[in-house]
């Protein structure tokens, strides 16, 4: 009988310690994303709208040139695109889907400094082109230049 009571108490304690469903997702939504972009870039504005449409809070800061900012934030030049964002301690470069930003903020993978979609692939968020899509990868990058595919978009 004591064993059943102990198991019941342990199960109740574990349930109480677990985060409430949706609580982590809400925490991701509470991070304000600062998007650095040039004033004349239309696709950057479309990407900002994509983030907002997916429940993310966004602040936009306009710059004439993002080169020095990217360098100061540690974004590898080979991963550069048309806008750079800060999401908490993470860097987001280019047309990264909101879904992957949320995933990054929830999982907080060790050694990852940010995510990037290099270039401007057609069909990525903000680069919609009448249904045309190019395959692309979301690249996770680390402090020391290490990189790996975080998510592939092939359809």
Within a 10 A sphere around the Cβ of 86, how many other Cβ atoms? 19
Q: Is the pLDDT of residue 33 over 90?
A: yes
Taking only the tens place, the pLDDT of each residue in 62-114 is 999 999 999 999 999 999 999 999 999 999 999 999 999 999 999 999 999 99
Angle at 135 between CA 95 and CA 102, to 5 degrees: 40
Taking only the tens place, the pLDDT of each residue in 116-148 is 999 999 999 999 988 899 999 999 999 888 999
CA separation, residue 115 to residues 7, 48, 83, 129 (Å): 42, 16, 12, 23
């Amino acid at each position: 009988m004591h064993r059943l009571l102990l198991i019941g108490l342990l199960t109740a304690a574990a349930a109480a310690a677990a985060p409430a469903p949706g609580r982590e997702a809400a925490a991701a939504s509470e991070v304000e994303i600062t998007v650095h972009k040039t004033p004349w870039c239309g696709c950057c504005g479309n990407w900002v709208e994509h983030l907002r449409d997916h429940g993310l809070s966004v602040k936009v800061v306009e710059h004439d040139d993002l080169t020095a900012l990217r360098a100061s934030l540690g974004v590898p030049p080979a991963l550069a695109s048309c806008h750079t964002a800060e999401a908490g301690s993470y860097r987001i470069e280019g047309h990264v889907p909101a879904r992957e930003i949320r995933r990054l903020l929830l999982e907080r993978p060790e050694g990852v400094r940010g995510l990037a979609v290099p270039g401007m692939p057609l069909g990525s968020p903000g680069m919609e082109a009448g249904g045309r899509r190019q395959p692309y990868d979301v690249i996770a990058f680390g402090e020391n230049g290490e990189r790996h595919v975080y998510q592939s978009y092939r359809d």
